[in-house]
Amino acid sequence: MVVSFVSIFLLNTITLFANEKAAVAKEEGSFNVTETILEHIKDDHSWHLWGHTTISLPVILYTPAGFEVFSSANLVNEHHEPVVYKGNFDYKLVEGKTKIVNAAGDVDELASKKLWDFSITKNVASLFISVIILLLVVLTAAGAYKKTGIKSAPKGLQSFMEPIVLFVRDEIALPNIGAKRHAKYMPFLLTIFFLILTNNFLGLIPLFPGGANVSGNIAFTMTLAVCVFIVVNLSSNKNYWEHIFWMPGMHWSMKLFLAPIELIGVFNKPISLMIRLFANITAGHILVLSLVCLIFIFKTVYAAAVAVPFVIFIFLIELLVAFLQAYIFTMLTAMYIGMASEEAHHDHH
């Protein structure tokens, strides 16, 4: 039943996508695969709905003249091409970034360096939506527990949330952090898990409020990695740093050799978390879009007959990957916390 629903949903979406791209190709005279794929995975100042209908998002800039707020619709024309908007300065979108330009329309590098962009982009708006969804689900489930108590049988959202929370506790936190310390880190681990999972699933929905590639944005994964880095190092004890700077049981010469390698590992761990999530989610989106684009490259019914089943197959795999990436990120975070807070083990002879 789920597979049938996903298949019908994808077929309708691909048909809508095909009609829009066919119209665009007819207007422009060609179909650019690279541009089409990048358009769907990159961030944007507007949220495309269908056809030429978009939601213009607010542009918030801090310049030497102070804060300036205006709609992103002022930065593009009816064909969605960048144009100059005259505010306190002359602004123009250059490769998706708001820049200050001179009278000739060229980027003023010196003035643009003093420009701070706090705009609500597509990814930021999608992140707000995911947070609102999480708050509604979690607070509703928590409110139900307050009324019925934790010993009663879960109902509604409780029956959905409880198995996942228990899974994170029993399969991630307890084995990696330990029974004594795991409760302290459960809110952090659950936040990471649900935030990644929600954004992964929203990114797989082609239509509003989905379609934003939040987990495939390096800034999002970097922020999560920085949070993990801070929590891990704040949780570390003397034993953890001793194993990094002065490895027990080793000759002093080997200790000097291993110390810089272990120190590099402290920074490599969050970097690997950042790149793994970003690369896997982005690669999945590119693969699905590439298969869809085969229809427009060959322009035959046979290409569609081959591409559509593959798109459905890859999309179903992406549903699994969306959960796996949230699980792996959370599990490695718990593992790093457990390694940093583990007490020393002494051998008694």
pTM, full prediction? 0.82
Cis peptide before 209 (omega within 30 of 0): yes
Query: Residue 249: its pLDDT value, please?
Result: 72
Nearest to 129 by CA among 198, 219, 194: 198
Nearest to 277 by CA among 334, 322, 343: 322
Rounded Cα distance between 36 and 83, Å, is: 21
Query: Residue 283: its pLDDT value, please?
Result: 86
- Rounded (to 5) percent helix, strand, coil in the chain: 65, 10, 25
Question: Per-residue pLDDT tens for 212-242?
Answer: 888 888 999 999 999 999 999 888 878 777 7
Rounded Cα distance between 278 and 323, Å, is: 14
Rounded Cα distance between 344 and 242, Å, is: 10
Helix (H) or strand (E) holding 126: helix 122-148
8 A C-beta contact, residue 161 and residue 174: no
Question: Per-residue pLDDT tens for 302-328?
Answer: 777 777 787 788 888 888 888 999 999
Rounded Cα distance between 349 and 126, Å, is: 59
Q: What is the 3-state secondary structure (H, E, C) of 223-290?
A: HHHHHHHHHHHHHCCHHHHHHHHCCCCCCHHHHHHHHHHHHHHHHHHHHHHHHHHHHHHHHHHHHHHH
Q: Which residues of the chain have pLDDT under 70?
A: 1-31, 51, 149-154, 344-349
Secondary structure (3-state) at 42: coil
Query: Residue 72: its pLDDT value, please?
Result: 85
